[in-house]
Each structure stands twice: as structure tokens, then as C-alpha cells.
Structure 1
């Protein structure tokens, strides 16, 4: 028996040695960009709390409402929730004007509610990412209340001030102010304060190390509770050129270049990482990361030790619709970013959020004939492109723009103030409202459509924003019953991404780049290649590829009965995900 035992032992050692070599070989094929961080593999689901689910009948979504729907959220196959601000706020800009960073807005509930939300999310394996809004605070924050009281107050330098005796401050344009002036006069101290956004959102002075340390303490407060990361809202504007140079004519067209990414922004982020982020296993997201792929890389190059994921806007800043913008220009955006990020850094992939109209209304076709099929096609793109998918609540149902007719229906400070600007200038208000039907960010903020009961099952009271009238047929309850619904297709996509590492880490290569109707690309990891083909039009179209399709396998398609997998003709808004056997 001894020789047999020796042979067995030799075989085991050989097998272990072989597996070790195989593991080393596999490892050598993983690039720095494929370093397995949890947030690279995650699917992120964005919840706009005011519109998700109301638990108490006041017409405003709240934390308890979210808790009541966590099993639904879990069923989607997502890994993390990005939650829009729930901090204490007078709500001038729907929570993006924070009056206390350590308290919960009363509309949303209590800190005990939040603690339960976090516990219940983690129980279900869902991570929680919070919005952190620290380019500005509310003018009702205690810091600003103190700062405006006296030029000698210890909080004075927490904000940017311009003494009136120096004359009128250098002109700066405000995103939200009805008069478009970013300097607001304060009589009590005969000074102007800076607000890039609403006059109720004074900009914080990041030049002040005391202010920075206050913010770091706020971050630790939430991270020590156990949250899993931050999305840094509007932080690209935190560093200002405080010499206040004169800006060239037309600078508003390239606003980030002149308003954002100031001289010390990356110094602040590196300090933030050193003091806070590096001590936690979290995900950090750079909203509006510069104005070019090279700019975006500076935020997330691992060697720089700043943030993790670049959430750039070039792919959504395309005007009213993709149809007008042109698919080839759209493809070029993703290709140039992928070239920059091929070997390091990481990107967010998204087509909608709380500041955008509905995904299918902007990038697809929201008519009854094509809404569902184009919604599925767009979801296919978000879930298969290289980067971490960020998916906005309601898009998994194919919710569409509400298209308000009257300014009184809008709650958005940006929309209301721009309306007043045009009105004061004698402009064309009718044309403005017509444009907002397609472009308003409140199209994406209408209440979630849960079922066909009153107010779509969102609330038993009067909703803070009108519910889309189509809720009687377009809702979650109806789609749960239909195996071919947009909702069930999204779940299949989420599972497919989990089952195919190539869709997470695989290299991206554009196929048939000049095709004006089809976005086709491969995702390749080691020896596995997956082909994704997407028809962005309402017509039947063809695409070209030199890939050998004979032994290919259809992994998922958005039509119930698919054509032959080898066919290079696509039906309207058809999407196919194909495993290629070379």
C-alpha cells in the first residue's frame, strides 16, 4: 500500500502545483484597472427619497417608506444604494441646502429611522452610499448664521465674503439665482457672500483648514455609523481662484473650466483621503469630474490617493435627446474615456439621475409602441458598458417624462428661477416651458409608480409632486406579473453581470464604429469575449462585425423570441448580448 500512498501524494502535490501555476497565470492577466474592489463589481441603485415611498401620508417619501420596500430593492439584484440627501434642510433645493449635517430632515424621519434603515440594508447585503454636499451649506446653517452676524465672528472665514467698501465684487454667474448674480449683498456686515447656486446655498471656504476639519469630522460621524461611502456632490467647485480674475466672454459654456477644479482642489481631496477615506473600506464618487478624460483621471488615479469613481457628465450633457445629438458622437465619448481609463482609474456608467429627465425619454423612445423595448435596450447598455452601473429608481420600470404644462406644477428652484429670469427679460415663456417638458430634472423626480391605486401607491395624502397619469398601467405591481416586463429584464441583466466577470473587468472595443444606428462593442477578459449589439433606432438596421458568430451563444436579448444569433440585422431598439466562441 505504501507505493500507492506515495503515488496519491505525488498526484495531490502535482495538482496543487498546477493550480498554483494556473492562479499565477490568471493573476498576470489582471490589469491594475481590474483590481477587484467591491465597488467595481457593484450595481448601484439611486433612490430619490422624497419620491420613493411615503409611510405617513404627508405626501413626501421618507426613510420608513424606503425600509418598507427594501425587499423589492434587494430583488433587483443591486449591491448598493446611493441615497440623495436626507440631512436637515429648509429644502430650498430639495435637500441640497443643508442646515445640519448630523441631523435628519423632519420630512424624512429621525436618526433612529436612519439607523434602522442602515441595519436593514446591511442585513440584506445592500451597501449604503450617501450624498455629501460640502461645496455649500444652507444659509440657515449655524455656521452661516454666525458668519453673517459680524466680520469678527469665528465662523466668518467658513464662507467667501467681499467687503462692500472695495466696490462691487467681480461678476460671477449663479446657476440658480433669479438675477444670475453669485454675490449676494448682506447689509448687517456691509458685505457680499458668494453662492454659485441658490442665494440660500452660500459656498463654503475650503481655503480655511478649520472648515476642512469640520467637514472631515462630519464624514467620520457617518462612516462610524457604518455607511459604505460618499458621492461628493458639486465638489469640483469647492476650490476657487480667490484672486477672482476677470472671466472671458462666453465662459458659461465651459463652466467647470472656470468655476471648478480650482488651484487646490486635488490638495483637498488628497488630504481628505489621508485623514478620512483611507481608514475605511468605502466607495467614493467624484461628481462632475473635470471637463475631459484627463481631468477625470486625476480624481481617481489610484496613485494619487483621492477618490474611487469618476462620475462625469459629458455622456448626459448632450442636449434634448440622443436622436438630436447623434449616436456616433455619443459612442465617441465613451470610447475616448475608455482609452484614458483602460489601465487605471474607474468610471460610473449612467444615463439618468435626479438632475436629468427620464432615461427612456431622453435616450430612447417613450411612445407606447417602443417604451418597453427601448427601456430594455438602454438598461442593457448601462449594465454592460465598462464601469460601475448607476441606475436611477423607476427606470427599471421604464418610467417616462411627465411633461408639465404650467410653471405652477414645478417645485424645482432652478426651473422656477430661470422662468422668472425669462419673464423679467420679456422672453418667450411658452418656448421655455415647452423645452422643460423634455429637459426638466423634475421629470425624473415624480413619485415612484408602485401600483394602480390612488397616487400610484406612493402616498395616501397629496403627493409633493404630481404623479404621472400613466401610473394606472405603468407600475411595479403590473410588471411583477409580466415575465417579459422591463422590470424582469432588469433583474436578468443584473444577474448576467454577476455571472460574467468579463462584463465587469473586460476590455472594451468598439465594433462597426461608423454605424449611425448601432452601438456595438466587445468586452473581453482573458479568453472570454462578449459581444453587445444595440439598435438605438425605431427602424430595422444591420451592423458589421468580423467576429466569428457560428459558435456564438445568445446570453440575453430584449425581444421575447430572438432571431438567429448569427443574424446581423436588428429589429427596432433590439439589444443582444452574445458570448463569442473564437
Structure 2
């Protein structure tokens, strides 16, 4: 098969764009069952248009037993009734497009649910039409699993199926059997899934867990990690996962996926790689200039790095310098799998993180609720709904998946009935309605940052260059596009910092995270208050 590829142009919408992640269960409940739904999202499109985001990425909305809240798909071309119907999805597409908002779907490709008809048939025998649609292996002579692979569930990656007298592979939960991407029939069917949704107007996909899609053909044991410490590491970290994931053949599969997506104009591909993928390996997911693979391999690093100016600067410098000319960076400071940024680094630093996110070179991802400063909510373990909490105490993700806080009415305007997860006790203060009318709120800061990103092309398309400082408490960088030049200065400390920057005398501060200064600077000395970030216009 001959595969041809398109190249990314400077005007690709997602280069200037801002992608807003919606966790559908927690965004807005329209039918009063305590769970968010498609109609609820439609009802809030005017808000998202006001915020001026470019695209919505929806976490999974497909039919699912919800053992992993949608990442266990039982039908890739149906909407789960909890969220709505295909007609309502079509309405969402149409209403979003009217507002120039694009819709991106989560494409869960490594595994399906064990309740998917494909797996139900596959598990029946060794002779059915779906017998090789999943990864099956015979037991060892003693009846034990085929090899030592460990799942993200922390146990064996293999579960025995009596009807076949074989084990099936699941890199995640046992209810999530891995699809066999070496099977051409699987690849064709999953390609048809993409076409089904793009025919309905979907503008792109966030492709889930792309590092795992192909396994070692000989199913060799993963080697033991030399750095493993049972006191500090999880069972999964005991092994170096060189055979169970990150296989070189994955790029061939991703190229086929890219080819299908490129049959439709102006679509974007976003790839979820392993959170700790080294930069040199992350960059391989972009492909080559005339042979692109993934538009945006997701960069998770800031979610895990220590929040220090020098560390963040060194990472951004390395990331930006390593990217080839045709590759475009991306950043996020939060998502549905990580604690809220306010809970990680504090409210004031979270405001500065917002300025970082929306002024770095690259596509920013905003996780719903981030723009109003939502924080983690303490939920007792026995009341957690996330299956991960019941497998590993303390690992549940419910505290940062709680319902969006819209106003000060009962249940924060999310629903008229008790929500599926509790609402924060301070929702009367932290909500969209209240912050829209507060000139010093989180939401006002996000709104102003996005407005500046729209107004000044240098903040969306400009080159990045950091400043060398003797002060290790601050991170200062430039964005330059043609003759336009902005400088961003961020104080990562809780104390006032004074910086000498030669070019700033007579220049104007466009925005402070304190939202209270826009003065012209009288000297080359910039004084930053504790936890303050500033954008300065150097030339326009």
C-alpha cells in the first residue's frame, strides 16, 4: 500500500488554536441525572465562544460499561446513552461549528472493552471470525502466563480464558483486552471508525495510549529495571517495558492512521504517549518533514517537573531546541489524570502557570475548570468511583474530575440533582458566573491572556528565546514574530524580585497576573511582586 502525507503549514488552525478539554461526565448535566451530557455541552457553547477557545476535546463518549469511565469502549460508533444520542452529537457538531469551534474525539485504540462484540466473539473459540482480533497466547507448560509483562493495573498483563484455554493480553485493566494491531482486519475496521466520525464533521482525534499499540512479536520477557526499589516504586516500575510497549513497528501503524485522517482536510492528530517519554523519543512521533505522523505528540512534562524557574526554563529550552523546524510544540498544566494545578502549586502560582501556558510557543491545552481556578476536592476513599482507587489506595482521580462550577445556585449550576461526584464547598466563590464579573478573577486573567494571544501574532506564532539571568527565581523569555516582539517575565518565588533587562526601558506592560498594571517602564529594571508574571510589548 502506498501512503502519501500532507505537510503542516504555518496556517494550520491548531498552531494558533487553543484546545479545551471537556470531561463530559463533569461539564454540564442537562437531563438532571447528575451526570454531564451532550445537551449540557451544547448549552455552554456560548460560554466557550466567549472564552474564545478554538476546539473542544471530548474525553470518551462512546458506548461503554464504564469500568474505566469510557476508556473501555464497547461500540466505537455509538454514543453512550448516559451522554445522549447520535442526533444530539450531530447537533453539537453543528452548533459548535456555527461558533467556529471544532470538535475532537478521544480515539481509544490500544484496547476495547471485554463487552465489545468483537471480544465476546473472539473469546469463544480458536476458530471464530474474530479469533485473532485480540492478543491471545498459550500458557507456559506449568499453566502460568506466557511472559512476565505487567499491566498498568500493577498485576499480570495476562488473564486466562477457559473457553480458549489461552491467556489474553491487557496492558491496562483486565476488562480492557488489547486489540491485535498486527491483524489487517483490525486496522481496517479501526480506520472505518475514524471515517465514520469524520463523515459526521469531527475535526480531529486525541489518540489514546499510542506507545502501547504494538507488542514484541516474539513476546519476550521485559527486563528487570536496575533502578527498581520495592519501597519507592510500583510493581509496574519493576520492569523496563521495552517489549510490551514502545515497539518500533508502532510508527507504521500510526502512519496508516495518519493517512486515513489526511483523507479529510484540516483535521488534527494528537497522540497520547507515555507520560515520561524522553524528549528525543517524543520527537520521533512527529515523523519527518514530508512524512508526518502525529501533529501534536502530547507533552506532559510540566505536569511532573518540580515547579522551579530554572527547571521549567531548562525543559522549555531543551524541548524547543530539539524540535525540528516542521514540528510544533504543545503544553498543558492539567488534565483529567493529574491533580489540579491550583492544588499542585497554589493559587497565585497557578495564575502564573496560566500565563506560561498561553504565552509559550505551541498549542495550549486547557482542562475544564482550570480557567476558574478549580482545585482538588477531598473525597473519602470508600466514596470514590474511580476503579483505580479501589486497585491502589490513593491513586483515585475523582478529586480532580469533579463537576464544573457554573454559578452559586445549588449544585453549582452543574445539575438540578445530586451530582455523580461532590461539589467543592467553596463553589459559591469559585464559579464562572461570579468570576465573569470580577476584574481580578482567574477567569478574567484567562480571558485577557487569550485576547492578547489573539491580538498579537507573536504570542501564537512567534519564535521562542529565553533570557539568561543570574536570578534563579525567575524565568524570562521572548516571543518574536517578524517585527513583533513580546517579553514574558515570571517570578516563581514568594518574594519580590528585581530584574535588569536591557531592552525594556520605555516599553509597556500589557498584562500582569495581578491584573492591576499596564504602565510604561521608566528604566531597565523590572520589579516583579511575589508570584507575579508580566507580558511586556517590546515592538509591534
Find the residue that maps to 2:150 and give its secondary structure: coil
1:416 aligned to 2:390?
yes
Q: Is the CA contact (8 Å cut-off) linking 1:530 and 1:579 kept in structure 2?
A: yes
Alignment map for 1:134-533 (pairs within 5 Å): 134-164=109-139, 166=141, 167-168=143-144, 169-176=146-153, 180-250=155-225, 252-253=236-237, 259-288=244-273, 291-301=277-287, 302-318=289-305, 322-323=306-307, 326-341=308-323, 343-362=325-344, 364-365=345-346, 371=347, 373-404=348-379, 406-419=380-393, 433=394, 441-512=397-468, 515-533=471-489
**In structure 2, how many angstroms separate the alpha carbons of the residues matched to 1:577 and 1:257?**
44
520, 526, 529: which one aligns with 1:568:
526
From the two aligned structures, give the one with the greater helix fraction.
1
Counterpart of 2:38?
Answer: 63
Alignment of 1:89-168 (within 5 A): 89-164=64-139, 166=141, 167-168=143-144
CA distance in 1, matches of 2:494, 2:439: 23
Q: Please state how far the C-alpha of 1:542 moved relative to its aligned partner.
A: 3.0
2:510 to 538, 555, 576: 555
The match for 2:495 is 539
Q: Say if 1:328 and 1:513, in contact at 8 Å, map to a contact too.
A: no
CA deviation map 1:480-530 (0-9, x unaligned): 121221112211111111111111221111223564321211111222221
Q: Tell me the CA shift for residue 544 of structure 1.
A: 4.5
Work out the number of aligned pairs and report it.
517
Kept in 2: contact 1:447–1:458 (CA 8 A): yes
Deviation of 1:265 after TM superposition, in Å, equals 0.7
| TM-superposition CA deviations, 1:385-407 (whole Å, max 9, x none) | 11101101101101111133x21
Q: Aligned partners of 1:412, 1:514: CA distance in 2, in Å?
A: 45
**Higher-Rg member (1/2):** 1
In 1, are the aligned partners of 2:56 and 2:103 still within 8 Å (CA)? Answer: yes
Q: Which moved more, 1:526-535 or 1:108-117?
A: 526-535
SS state of the match for residue 303, structure 2? coil
What 5-or-longer segments of structure 1 have no aligned partner? 1-31, 366-370, 420-432
Q: State the secondary structure of the residue aligned to 1:91.
A: coil
Of stretches 101-110 and 464-473 in structure 1, the one that deviates more from structure 2 is 464-473
Offset at 1:409? 2.5
Q: Distance in 2 between matches of 1:488 and 1:65?
A: 23
Residue pair 2:160, 2:166 contacting (<8 A) in 1 also: yes
Q: 2:87 aligns to what SS in structure 1?
A: helix
Return the offset for 1:304: 2.3
* CA deviation string 1:141-190 (max 9, x = no partner): 0000000011111112111111126542101111125xx11101111111
Residues 249, 488 of structure 1: alpha-carbon distance in 2 compared, 3 angstrom cutoff: same
The Cα shift of 1:416 comes to 1.7
For residue 271 of structure 1, give the secondary structure of its aligned residue in structure 2. Answer: helix
Q: Aligned equivalents of 2:487 and 2:475: distance in 1?
A: 11
Q: For structure 1, which segment, 61-70 or 268-277, has the greater mean C-alpha deviation from structure 2 after superposition?
A: 268-277
1:99 is displaced (CA, Å) by 0.2
SS of corresponding position for 1:102: strand
Measured against aligned partners, the alpha-carbon deviations of 1:105-137 in whole angstroms (never above 9, x if no partner) come to 111011111111111000111001111001100
Check 1:255–1:233 CA distance in 2 against 1; reply closer, same or farther (3 A cut). Answer: farther
SS in 2 for 1:539: coil
CA contact (8 A) 2:439 2:515 kept: no
Query: Any idea what the Cα deviations from partners look like across 1:4-39, whole Å, max 9, x if unmatched?
Result: xxxxxxxxxxxxxxxxxxxxxxxxxxxx98722111
What does the per-residue CA deviation read over 1:523-552, in whole Å, with 9 as the maximum and x for residues that have no partner?
11222221111112222223353x311132
**Contact 2:508–2:520 (CA under 8 A) maintained in structure 1:** no
- CA distance in 2 between counterparts of 1:357 and 1:75 reads 26
Contact persistence 2:153–2:173 (CA under 8 A): yes
Give me the TM-score of the superposition, normalised by structure 1.
Answer: 0.85
Are the aligned partners of 1:310 and 1:346 in contact in 2 as well (CA < 8 Å)? no
In structure 2, relative to structure 1, the CA distance for the partners of 1:487 and 1:258 (3 Å cut) is farther
1:256 shift after superposition: 6.3
Aligned-pair CA distance for 1:192: 0.8
CA contact (8 A) 1:356 1:443 kept: no
* Contact preservation (8 Å) 2:299, 2:332: no
- Rounded Cα–Cα distance in structure 1 between residues aligned with 2:440 and 2:243: 48
- Whole-Å Cα distance in 2 between the matches of residues 83 and 307 of structure 1? 18
Q: 1:572 to 1:259 in 2, by over 3 A?
A: farther
Indicate the SS of the match to 1:201.
coil
User: How far, CA to CA, are the matches of 1:509 and 1:34 in structure 2?
Assistant: 22
Secondary structure, in 3 states, of the residue corresponding to 2:426? helix
Contact 1:357 1:442 in 2 (8 A): no
